[in-house]
Structure 1
Amino acid sequence: MDTATSNVEASERRRASRSQRPVGPHYKWVALTNTTLGVLMASIDASIVLISLPAIFKGINIDPLAPGESNYFLWMLLGYMVVTATLLVTFGRISDMFGRVRLYNLGFAIFTVGSILLWLTPGTGNTGALELIIFRFVQGIGAGFLFSNSAAILTDAFPAHQRGFALGINQIAAILGSVIGLILGGILSYFSWRLVFLVSVPVGIVGTVWAYLMLREVATIRGKQKIDWAGNVTFAIGATVLLLGITYGIEPYGGSPTGWGNPLVIAALTIGVVLLAAFIWIELHVKDPMFRLDLFKIRMFAAGNASSFLGSIARGGLQFMLVIWLQGIWLPLHGYNYDVTPLWAGIYMIPLMIGFLLMGPLSGYLSDRFGARIFSTTGMLIQTVSFLLLTILPANFDYIWFAVLIFFLGLGQGMFSSPNTSSIMGSVPAEQRGVASGMRATFQNSGSIVSIGVFFSIITAGLAAALPSTLASGLTHAGVPTAVSDKIAHLPPTSALFAAFLGYNPMQTLLPHNVLTALPAANQSNLLGHSFFPNLISSPFMVGIHNVFYLSAAMCLVAAIASLLRGKAQQDRSTGTGEQTDTPAEQVSTSSRAR
């Protein structure tokens, strides 16, 4: 018994001494590899369901396009992003109070549990859909801890002259994951929808164990901090309600193709703005706020987040819009069946990923030497030009030009992302890095949701204005009775867009089965062929997507101006042990505490 007791005490002393020892020179690479794995996994799962939704809904016996079922489709599509975006700042602040590594590790574990629950989803029908959505929320909570702390952990671990490179690798993982998710979802869902969620389970288990064993808390955690409950609650509820309003603005309401006139959407947007305004007032008056708004007085922090938010709006809906373009028009015109278009859309988007992969680490490395401003500003200008050039492409484009343009979009995004993130994280006091990382990620994720809502509404409005007459005429000429043609033509265009996005033939979805089977075989073949729907929708769709590209270009141009105004970096140098000298912001914070 005495021997066992002494062994336990010796083990505890070893653990204690290990946690108190300074980290070695190689610790920063441990932090980089683990946080990159975490961000990669969370990003893959954010996009993996986009391609695999048809298989998932078929697996639980639900038609996502049936009346009353579209809410399940919307929540499966955007619920993960909404939950993650609304919790990032709160999680960042809690991590500053209780330890970034501790909360990051917890996030890895929660994400893994969510993945296991999704894989084992027992229900079918509406019950199964509700279970999937709830388990996705669990995943989203875990992802919130991962996203809010990864940049802060890297900033703590790396010296200033290597920070941009490290954060560039981390940013690449986030973008790479979103593209890998599209391809992986298409491949795995071909065999079983459960594999879509199972794939992250072993990665999550290994990553969680590795994080708990190897990551160390190198930041100094200031004690005796109080939780700002009023600030946390108003921000979380306000952001959630606002993003829900934007999300439901996509759905048709009454006779309108979109839901922006829905009283509930208007109320959600209003309540969200009021609560966020209350959050700002609270943060200015409480002793220990959830987020110190005076961080926005740091020009580099303010300009970096402004350009990031604008860039995220410009790019966030891009993948969604391009996928609809590919799946609804280009791929069918080139002979692809609708059921395989989701997978091929992901494959044809690979040049976007390659551009980011090439420029992300390089711009991060160079920005460590020459500062963030020139690279982040140039990256935004490249994206501005690329968006404008996309408006020149016809609906049935030559792929080589499409590939070149999205490659340059990826190149510009890679040139912007890592220097901008490094600039933001290096500008704030060390004890505020967790909440600053959360705010940065919130701007980025919220911009993506806003982008999807706004861009989708622009395209839908354009289709609603021009498509009914074109669709009614085309269906009538194809032999569909006039009464049926008129009824279908005046359905919300979201039905056709969602069908194409999910890999269903839109005409097979829109046309009643008894009407379709009553037509001659030649007429059926024409209606369900590869060219009928794309030729009908291409002209009004291109008007809408051109407006989206113009808006994106304008956003990127303003973001470039904001990036240019960030000022020159004042670089600090590391001692080479993972401990950084204070940045100007840290020196100010230290001196103010001393006073």
Structure 2
Amino acid sequence: MDEKKVFISVLLTSFFGPFMGSSVNVAIPSMALEYGVNAENLTWILTLFLLGSVILLLPSGKYADINGRRKVYQTGCIGVAFTTLACVFAPALNILLLLRFMQGIFMAMNFSTGMAMLVASHPPQKRGQIIGYSASCVYMGLSLGPVIGGALTQFLGWRTIFIFTALGIFTSIYIMSSVKQEWYGDRNEKLDMFSSLLYALSAASILYGLSDYARHPLMKWLIIIGLVLAVAFIYRQNHIKYPLFALSLFKNTIFAMSNTAALIHYSATFGISFTLSLYLQVIRGFDALSAGMLLLLQPIMMSLLSPLAGALSDKFEPRLVASSGMGITAFGLYMLSHLTTTTTSYYIGSILIIIGIGFALFSSPNNNAIMGAVQPKFYGVASSTLAVMRMFGQAISMAIVTFLLSVATKNIITGGYIPALLEGIQNIFTILSLTCTIGIICSLARGTRKKDRTS
């Protein structure tokens, strides 16, 4: 019975986490209008959520292994539910931004424990199936977010997005409340608080510095401080008994390069939806629902083709399948760099389909390569590492978008906002395309899979 409850609860959070992110994208222009700011300033709504998630992901995962994953998961759900509900009543932008940061912190508890509980609560022979269901819910959240979010924004206002999300998370909490079983990793280990602090400060410094560098050039020193702290964190992990981060796994070339490719791929792709939402609504005049329907094409292709791509990577070298997918994505991003004030919806839709195909061909095979590169006892560590790469990549992507939009719209003259914004959007897709191209090199450099580990 507990198995079924955990399954439903985790799938609900797997859906509503991505749903909230993708639905908020189409609501950005409406939020900007209500709060009286330019739309590009609201990149912080996404950036702060990601920042909160990134800085707590590793510490919360380690803490859950020692003290109980269900406990940490349920605490995260409660925190996400109440901060999400509080967003409905945010009277000012600063309060909304604070709540979004807190959402990210609590969501990190879900990211670091949900998949581990799914695997631990089901027999090994069902592992692939339940992971597939979880991935399906993630893509469904991404797919339905722009449509449902666009409809809610257009007809009931953007605040109803958070009401809908909170209801879903409260349902997950209710289902999980009757589960009494607990799951642990190694209860004999200890959480190194100093490593946790080094990691959090490093991540926050680097990502905040990148996001605000365009407006405050002195932020370059914050980035440098973050990099120094990152070096100190890595050094410490190699010299303590209970490291927060298992660096020894990176001695495996396939594991190391596959995770690097994941980091780069998410850095190149996460900002697509936000940037296109700005383009469609601010430059082209689309309403929120119409923009959401068009943006739906990419995640639909990801949902449909991911299982097929995973099967392909079982038959063929994952690095070849994943690298071809990243190449297709890079091409799509390059084509988006040619957007104008008259680009047709058919052109945009076709490119989104191409990017969706590329994303599907990359993601599942790359995850397959990562999990196949480690022994089963390290599956939890490998999954957590991949989650860190995903969240860090998403945060970097928004940092790139924020920086380039700030540069483009800085010191504009009267009447020049739309041309400046369009130039910024073109520059964003050019840089993201180049980033994705670098990722292809890393993907190909991972080497040939010899044999999946079984012990």
Q: Classify the TM-score, shorter chain.
A: 0.7 to 0.9
Q: State TM-score, norm by structure 2.
A: 0.86
Residue 418 of structure 1 deviates from its aligned partner by 2.2
In structure 2, the CA distance between the partners of 1:172 and 1:307, relative to structure 1 (3 Å rule), is farther
Q: Quick one: which of 193, 200, 224 aligns to 2:165?
A: 200
Q: Which residues of structure 2 form unaligned runs of 5+?
A: none
In structure 2, the CA distance between the partners of 1:180 and 1:58, relative to structure 1 (3 Å rule), is same
Residue 445 of structure 1 deviates from its aligned partner by 1.9
1:562 and 2:442 matched: yes
The question of whether the paired residues in 1 share the 8 Å contact of 2:211 and 2:402 is answered with no
Q: Quick one: which of 433, 444, 454 aligns to 1:553?
A: 433
Q: 5 Å matches for 1:57-96? A: 62-65=35-38, 73=42, 75-96=44-65
Between the aligned partners of 1:213 and 1:364, the Cα distance in structure 2 is: 35
In structure 2, the CA distance between the partners of 1:571 and 1:202, relative to structure 1 (3 Å rule), is farther
1:314 aligns to what?
268
- SS for the counterpart of 1:308 is helix
Residue 230 of structure 1 deviates from its aligned partner by 1.1
Count, aligned residues: 454
Q: Deviations over 1:185-240 (max 9, x none)?
A: 3322332444222112332122123234459656x632321111111011011111
Letter in 1 for 2:438: V
2:11 aligns to what?
36
1:259 and 2:205 matched: no
In structure 2, the CA distance between the partners of 1:215 and 1:349, relative to structure 1 (3 Å rule), is farther
Letter in 2 for 1:551: I
Residue 164 of structure 1 deviates from its aligned partner by 5.7
The question of whether the paired residues in 2 share the 8 Å contact of 1:182 and 1:346 is answered with yes
The question of whether the paired residues in 1 share the 8 Å contact of 2:59 and 2:191 is answered with no
Residue 455 of structure 1 deviates from its aligned partner by 3.6
Q: Quick one: which of 97, 122, 145 aligns to 1:181?
A: 145
1:592 aligns to what?
none
Q: 5 Å matches for 1:527-546? A: 533=418, 537=419, 544-546=424-426
1:402 aligns to what?
348
1:141 aligns to what?
105
In structure 2, the CA distance between the partners of 1:411 and 1:94, relative to structure 1 (3 Å rule), is same
Residue 77 of structure 1 deviates from its aligned partner by 3.9
Between the aligned partners of 1:448 and 1:304, the Cα distance in structure 2 is: 16
The question of whether the paired residues in 2 share the 8 Å contact of 1:92 and 1:436 is answered with no
Q: Quick one: which of 303, 316, 341 aligns to 2:257?
A: 303
In structure 2, the CA distance between the partners of 1:158 and 1:401, relative to structure 1 (3 Å rule), is farther
1:416 aligns to what?
362
1:372 and 2:337 matched: no
Residue 57 of structure 1 deviates from its aligned partner by 6.9
Q: Deviations over 1:94-132 (max 9, x none)?
A: 22223334422332232223233334x3x63x4xx4443
Q: 5 Å matches for 1:229-240? A: 229-240=193-204
The question of whether the paired residues in 1 share the 8 Å contact of 2:327 and 2:436 is answered with yes
The question of whether the paired residues in 2 share the 8 Å contact of 1:34 and 1:211 is answered with yes
Between the aligned partners of 1:31 and 1:427, the Cα distance in structure 2 is: 28
Letter in 2 for 1:142: F
In structure 2, the CA distance between the partners of 1:89 and 1:217, relative to structure 1 (3 Å rule), is same
Residue 291 of structure 1 deviates from its aligned partner by 0.9
Q: Deviations over 1:61-118 (max 9, x none)?
A: x42359xxx97x4543422111012211112222222333442233223222323333
1:170 and 2:134 matched: yes
2:306 aligns to what?
360
- SS for the counterpart of 1:223 is coil
The question of whether the paired residues in 2 share the 8 Å contact of 1:90 and 1:438 is answered with no
Q: 5 Å matches for 1:142-541? A: 142-156=106-120, 166-189=130-153, 190-213=155-178, 221-249=185-213, 258-259=214-215, 261=217, 263=218, 265-329=219-283, 331-332=284-285, 336=286, 340=287, 342-368=288-314, 370=316, 372-391=318-337, 394-430=340-376, 432-458=378-404, 460-461=406-407, 488=414, 496=417, 533=418, 537=419
1:111 and 2:80 matched: yes
In structure 2, the CA distance between the partners of 1:132 and 1:224, relative to structure 1 (3 Å rule), is same
In structure 2, the CA distance between the partners of 1:74 and 1:557, relative to structure 1 (3 Å rule), is closer
Between the aligned partners of 1:247 and 1:86, the Cα distance in structure 2 is: 15
Letter in 2 for 1:208: I
Residue 378 of structure 1 deviates from its aligned partner by 2.2
Residue 460 of structure 1 deviates from its aligned partner by 4.9
Between structure 1 and structure 2, the one with the greater Rg is 1
In structure 2, the CA distance between the partners of 1:143 and 1:304, relative to structure 1 (3 Å rule), is same
Between the aligned partners of 2:228 and 2:53, the Cα distance in structure 1 is: 21
Between the aligned partners of 2:200 and 2:115, the Cα distance in structure 1 is: 21
In structure 2, the CA distance between the partners of 1:137 and 1:394, relative to structure 1 (3 Å rule), is closer
Q: Deviations over 1:381-431 (max 9, x none)?
A: 221232233345554123222211110101111121123224324434555
Between the aligned partners of 2:7 and 2:396, the Cα distance in structure 1 is: 30
The question of whether the paired residues in 1 share the 8 Å contact of 2:25 and 2:277 is answered with no
Deviates more, 1:282-291 or 1:92-101: 92-101
The question of whether the paired residues in 2 share the 8 Å contact of 1:309 and 1:444 is answered with yes
The question of whether the paired residues in 1 share the 8 Å contact of 2:150 and 2:291 is answered with no
Letter in 2 for 1:45: M
Quote the RMSD (CA, aligned, Å): 3.3
In structure 2, the CA distance between the partners of 1:194 and 1:315, relative to structure 1 (3 Å rule), is closer
Residue 456 of structure 1 deviates from its aligned partner by 4.2
The question of whether the paired residues in 2 share the 8 Å contact of 1:111 and 1:143 is answered with yes
Letter in 1 for 2:319: R
Residue 545 of structure 1 deviates from its aligned partner by 4.1
- SS for the counterpart of 1:199 is helix
The question of whether the paired residues in 2 share the 8 Å contact of 1:152 and 1:425 is answered with no
